[in-house]
Amino acid sequence: EACAKVIDGKAVAKKIREEIGAEIARMKSETGVVPGLAVILVGDRKDSATYVRNKKKACETVGIKSFEVCLPEDSAEQEVLKHISEFNDDPSVHGILVQLPLPSHMNEQHILNAVSIEKDVDGFHPLNIGRLAMRGREPLFVPCTPKGCIELLHRYNVEIKGKRAVVVGRSNIVGMPAALLLQREDATISIVHSRTRNPEEIIKQADIIIAAVGQPNMVRGTWIRPGAVIIDVGINPVEDAKSPKGYRLVGDVCYEEASKVASAITPVPGGVGPMTIAMLLSNTLTSAKRIHNLP
Ligand code: NDP
């Protein structure tokens, strides 16, 4: 039986971290500039705390200075805005990231708008998203997860131009920007979402599938055109009595079935996840270079 090539996001991310680390070391010694990333965490969601910890650790490994603000769940929106404003003005900070989701009493739009677009390393500011959507305009930053998906396609020499791509999911942070990026690369895109009728018929036409749904194993082997390339963004915990934690992580695509039909596929975990953090580091380095006018 045919077996898809595994797109090893973990290995690619490691290579990118090494490239970034070397560049930062050179930059430090030649110019004294040290890139800085500020992270704001509100509340005590366990998953958010883990993401923030991983981002901080990754910064250390490449030589990015990290700044962290942790605020209690019941903080006022004004408090978050105050920290954003301080980081906007702080010349040692080149990237500002507000960990989502925010507590429900806060206005996410209000807060994301407050981040200076020059330091918007998550790429969530509406101006950056707007530029991403427009021909002939360049966003200062592209959101990390979709950027990581495209980077994987590039590093595995998957041709995008002229291909049919289907993005499953249309969230602001993954699906929508992924579709915009594929379109910028001259793919013909379709977007499948929760109101799409017969999603399998549309997905079956895809040369490239990016799945970002949050539904374990939703995309089945029979939905996939033979030879398609699959980027699975989903991270879904499912019960597993055999695992010491009592659960394991699976993607939005049924890996076991899909790997028999596709030509290449990302595993979960070890696919897109590590790329997201690598792209955050990359965006932070780019920002430091731009702010200090370095080549
Ligand atoms: P959201 O919940 O914000 O968006 C999910 C999208 O999927 C929505 O557009 C929704 O449609 C669509 N959808 C939901 N159910 C179906 C269905 N049955 N059929 C078709 N479409 C459906 O999720 P995110 O985009 O934030 O995340 C998606 C997944 O990616 C999650 O598993 C998340 O954990 C993971 N993730 C992984 C990251 C990484 O670094 N690897 C980073 C971010 C997320 P509608 O718009 O109609 O509601």
* ipTM metric: 0.99
Report the pLDDT value the prediction gives residue 2, as an integer from 0 to 100.
Answer: 67
Of residues 119, 214, 206, the one with CA closest to residue 174? 214
Average of pLDDT values for 233-243? 96
Average pLDDT over residues 220-232: 98
Q: How far is CA 121 from CA 51, 281, 286, in A?
A: 15, 9, 9
pLDDT confidence band for 191 (50 / 70 / 90): very high
The full 3-state SS of the chain, as one line of letters, equals: CCCCEECCHHHHHHHHHHHHHHHHHHHHHHHCCCCEEEEEEECCCHHHHHHHHHHHHHHHHHCCEEEEEEECCCCCHHHHHHHHHHHHHCCCCCEEEECCCCCCCCCHHHHHHHCCHHHCCCCCCHHHHHHHHCCCCCCCCCCHHHHHHHHHHHHCCCCCCCCEEEEECCCCCCHHHHHHHHHHCCCEEEEECCCCCCHHHHHCCCCEEEECCCCCCCECHHHCCCCCEEEECCCEEEECCCCCCCEEEECCECHHHHCCCCCEECCCCCCHHHHHHHHHHHHHHHHHHHHCCCC
C-alpha 28/C-alpha 129 separation (Å) is: 31
Residues with CB under 6 A from ligand 1: 145, 168-171, 173-175, 192-196, 199, 212-215, 218, 233-236, 272-273, 276
pLDDT band at 204 (very low <50, low <70, confident <90, very high): very high
For the stretch 261-284, pLDDT in tens is 999 999 999 999 999 999 999 999
Query: Ligand 1 test: best mutation among 152, 203, 213, most atoms within 8 Å of CB?
Result: 213
C-alpha of residue 231 to centroid of ligand 1, in Å: 13
Query: What's the CA-to-centroid distance between 235 and ligand 1, angstroms?
Result: 9
Q: Is 99 a catalytic residue?
A: yes
Which is the closest atom of ligand 1 to the Cα of 275? Answer: 40
- Rounded distance, CA 218 to CA 234, Å? 10
Say if residues 171 and 212 touch (Cβ distance below 8 Å): yes
Q: What integer is the mean pLDDT of 65-91?
A: 98
- Judge contact between 99 and 48, C-beta under 8 A: yes
Bridge partner residues of 249 (DSSP): 237
pLDDT value at residue 77: 97
Say what the pLDDT of residue 1 is: 66
Long-range contacts of 56-59 (CB under 8 A, 24+ apart): 58/17, 58/277, 58/278, 58/280, 58/281, 59/281, 59/284
